[in-house]
Copies of this chain bind each other. A is one copy, B any other.
Amino acid sequence: MKILQVELAGGRSYPIYIGSGLLSQPELLNRHITAQQVLIVSNETVAPLYLPQLASALGERQVASVVLPDGEQYKSLQYLDTIFDALLSHKFSRNATLIALGGGVIGDMTGFAAACYQRGVRFIQIPTTLLAQVDSSVGGKTGVNHPFGKNMIGAFHQPQCVIADTDTLNTLDDRQLSAGLAEVIKYGLIRDLEFLEWLERNMARLLLREQQALIHAIERSCANKAEVVAADEFETGERAILNLGHTFGHAIETGTGYDQYLHGEAVAIGMGFAADLSRRLGWINAGDVERILAVIHAAKLPTEPPTELPPQRYVELMSVDKKNLDGKIRVILLEAIGKARLPYNVESETLLATLNEYAG
């Protein structure tokens, strides 16, 4: 087991445990749950696989559970309310602890429910997808989607700990595993060239789910994110580099109704956009773009955007993205491979040129 400490101000630091078989270790759970009342939030895919095991590791506590349908389209205020219903119908107090058992959607919703229930209760994340292990594990972002935009309603709320049990990745389908690798690649691209090179050499091991390779990739990803977040917990500056590919990616997800692309797939396509745009601005060269597309393809991820979204639709969708202040469109680009540049207010002609090439 590797332990990575996420350092935050105000007593909000917490550990991430990464390893095999962690889900059923009562001592890990007991270390972080003093509550007698525990609500496990999971989804219909994950609950049958891991919920009984987790509930039994919680021992004599009063354990209740909410099982949501599986999918980004259920990450809404409406389904959030079912978590509040469960907490209140069991008369759970401010001292209760919530556990998110599932992927990023479950983590975001459970964290947001914990942030809001009685104005804030504790929660623990047990991410069961690679994407959630390398992304939602660090940063404290929680929330739900709105029909007009992704993650528009939410809160910053840090977990007590994150338990990333790599065994849970054995039940992940190949497409989900690749979607997680999109965020892993992102960390290499934005600030860790050495890790990117390691990924170029070890992608096959990751796709074969070799435990040691997975543990290393998760640990390096979380460590990179934790360093960025520690410097900028509430996203006022540096943290924005974590959004490489995301402004484009969110537009793709919103434009296609959240049900056609996995988040990681949309981000992969978005990183391709960002690479192309960085080249047009003269910051990286054509060889760099090819290398970026190659590592994305090696992870069995798409770089082709959806044919049904015209360029103008991207501009519309990107202008409501919450990274964009006062209607302007800002994106994260690369000034080199392994080095992201802070938000860049892109000219609409340059943006449309990239969009026309990729999305036209």
Q: Which of B88, B119, B325 contacts A154 (CB 8 A)?
A: B119
A20 to B254, CA, bound (A): 47
A231 interfacial contact with B, CB 8 Å: no
Cβ proximity bits A80-91 to B, threshold 8 Å, 1 near / 0 not: 110011001101
- Which B residues lie within 8 Å of A85 (CB)? 146, 148
**A326 in contact with B155 given A88-B146, A119-B143 (CB within 8 Å):** no
Binding-face segment, A159-167, A208-216, A268-276, A316-324: A316-324
Q: Are A322 and B118 in contact (CB under 8 A)?
A: yes
Shortest Cβ gap from A95 to chain B (Å): 5
Q: Which residue of B lies closest to A148 (CB)?
A: B88
Q: Are A88 and B152 in contact (CB under 8 A)?
A: yes
- Which B residues lie within 8 Å of A93 (CB)? 322, 324-327
Q: In chain A, residues 285-300, which have Cβ atoms closer than 8 Å to a Cβ of chain B?
A: none
Q: Which of B89, B115, B320 contacts A88 (CB 8 A)?
A: B320
A141 interfacial contact with B, CB 8 Å: yes
A36 to B141, CA, bound (A): 26
Cβ proximity bits A55-99 to B, threshold 8 Å, 1 near / 0 not: 000000000000000000000010011001100110101110000
Q: Which of B80, B118, B148, B153 contacts A89 (CB 8 A)?
A: B148
Cβ proximity bits A99-116 to B, threshold 8 Å, 1 near / 0 not: 000000000000000011
Q: Are A325 and B89 in contact (CB under 8 A)?
A: no
Task: Enumerate 6 A-B pairs (CB-CB under 8 Å) in ascending A order.
Answer: A88-B148, A93-B327, A94-B325, A116-B143, A119-B141, A119-B156
**How many copies make up the complex?**
2
A149 interfacial contact with B, CB 8 Å: yes
Q: Are B146 and A84 in contact (CB under 8 A)?
A: yes
A: residues with CB less than 8 A from B are 36-37, 77, 80-81, 84-85, 88-89, 91, 93-95, 115-120, 141, 143, 146, 148-149, 152-156, 234-235, 319-320, 322, 324-327
- Which B residues lie within 8 Å of A156 (CB)? 119-120
A324 to B234, CA, bound (A): 32
Q: Which residue of B lies closest to A142 (CB)?
A: B119
- Which B residues lie within 8 Å of A89 (CB)? 148
Q: Are B319 and A94 in contact (CB under 8 A)?
A: no
Known: A88-B146, A93-B325. 9 other contacts (CB 8 A): A77-B81, A84-B152, A88-B148, A88-B152, A116-B116, A117-B152, A119-B235, A120-B156, A120-B234
A117 to B320, CA, bound (A): 13
Q: Which residue of B lies closest to A154 (CB)?
A: B119
A143 to B155, CA, bound (A): 13
Q: Are A153 and B326 in contact (CB under 8 A)?
A: no
- Which B residues lie within 8 Å of A116 (CB)? 116, 143, 153-155
- Which B residues lie within 8 Å of A119 (CB)? 141, 143, 154-156, 235
Shortest Cβ gap from A251 to chain B (Å): 14
Shortest Cβ gap from A113 to chain B (Å): 9
**A88 in contact with B149 given A94-B322, A156-B120, A327-B93 (CB within 8 Å):** yes
